[in-house]
Amino acid sequence: MADQLIRATAAGGGIRVVGVITTKLTEVARQRHQLSYVATAALGRTMAAGLLLASSMKRPQSRVNIRIKGDGPLGGILVDAGLDGTVRGYVDNPAVELPPNAAGKLDVGAAVGRQGYVYVVRDVGYGYPYSSTVELVSGEIGEDITYYLATSEQTPSALALGVYVGSNGVEAAGGLLLQILPRAAEDLEMVATLEQRLSSLTGFTPMLRANKTLPQIFEDLVGDMGLTILPESQLVRFHCPCSFERMLGALKMLGEDELQDMIEKDNGAEATCHFCNEIYRTSSDQLAELIADLQQDRQEANR
């Protein structure tokens, strides 16, 4: 199944269901950042969460940033996801590897750390982004984001995130989000039912690896509760809007002295985009052009 996001409702619109498959985009991130197994799982889960969170926003340019900062060896995780289906992200220490946990799974909780924060910013695209911070629950990311949704956004939610990494790379990745909307939220039993159903499933990645489609998984979960699957599926992908021109713009901000220094000491400049690990190289000639631009800007300002 291609990387995609599918929406549905149940219980007469009282339950919102979103599923996302991120297998290919997580593999793109793994290769770009040369992520270890556990780093692939940590970043992959966070990217799936970002896409699921962004999916409930309304304005086309809306984006969600999730920063997770725990006390584990992985360092921080940063993900930027949009309602348009694009996502990018990185971890501070991509090479960190840990032995499996007691359940034989990738030990994301130990890699992220159990003390720390989840910081979420929702930006609808015209300023005044909404941001909120909660403490980490387990560092496993799914539980941490669920806690964030329940406390900061007051939306009772059940969330499953999964990444399966085999010896040839990412074999399955994605997530499922079930949310009780305000008019149904008083029904606490429903929250408990959904949580129970989600936890009784064999896990999200095993279902994907068994070739279940998102609609089939939705059917398993809430098929008896008046499930309505929205017909359009949305493609999702790893995408970073960085470019050589943007990098030149950022270099220009450093000012003439700094640029002159780069020409004399390094014979050019090299900049790496944190989000996608793309390396941009500039020659001394290009840096000299930037200096000439700055000098011209200054002369025009003085005129």
Taking the least distance from each CB to Zn ion, the nearer of 15 and 78 is 78
Are 161 and 142 within 8 A, CB to CB?
A: yes
- Residue 113 CA to residue 69 CA, distance in Å, equals 8
**At CA 14, angle to CA 10 and CA 18, rounded to 5?**
55
275 counts as binding Zn ion under rule CB under 5 A? yes
Taking the least distance from each CB to Zn ion, the nearer of 17 and 240 is 240
**CB of residue 242 vs Zn ion: minimum separation in angstroms?**
3
Of residues 278-297, which lie at the interface with Zn ion (CB under 5 A)?
278
**CB of residue 222 vs Zn ion: minimum separation in angstroms?**
38
Taking the least distance from each CB to Zn ion, the nearer of 118 and 242 is 242
| Amino acid occupying residue 65 | N
**How many chain residues are in contact with Zn ion, going by CB under 5 A?**
6
Of residues 235-264, which lie at the interface with Zn ion (CB under 5 A)?
240, 242
Taking the least distance from each CB to Zn ion, the nearer of 96 and 273 is 273
| Amino acid occupying residue 216 | Q
Show the DSSP H helices in the chain as ranges: 23-33, 37-54, 108-112, 142-151, 182-185, 188-200, 204-209, 214-222, 244-252, 256-266, 284-302
**CB of residue 240 vs Zn ion: minimum separation in angstroms?**
3
87 counts as binding Zn ion under rule CB under 5 A? no
From the list 156-164, 213-221, 223-231, 270-278, the region that binds Zn ion by CB under 5 A is: 270-278
**CB of residue 271 vs Zn ion: minimum separation in angstroms?**
10
User: Mask of contacts with Zn ion, 199-238, x by CB under 5 A?
Assistant: ----------------------------------------
**CB of residue 277 vs Zn ion: minimum separation in angstroms?**
7
- Of the candidates 182, 179, 172, 185, the one whose C-alpha atom is nearest the C-alpha of residue 198 is 179
Place of tokens 């279902």: 207
**CB of residue 5 vs Zn ion: minimum separation in angstroms?**
22
**CB of residue 264 vs Zn ion: minimum separation in angstroms?**
28
Interior/surface letters 173-186, b for 16+ CB within 10 angstroms, e for the rest: bbbbbbbbeeebee
- Of the candidates 73, 104, 81, the one whose C-alpha atom is nearest the C-alpha of residue 29 is 81
CA distances from 101 to 38, 69, 81, 107, 164 (A): 11, 20, 29, 5, 15
Are 172 and 160 within 8 A, CB to CB?
A: no
**CB of residue 247 vs Zn ion: minimum separation in angstroms?**
9
From the list 8-16, 115-123, 169-177, 267-275, the region that binds Zn ion by CB under 5 A is: 267-275
276 counts as binding Zn ion under rule CB under 5 A? yes
Of residues 19-78, which lie at the interface with Zn ion (CB under 5 A)?
none
Positions touching Zn ion (CB under 5 A) are 240, 242, 273, 275-276, 278
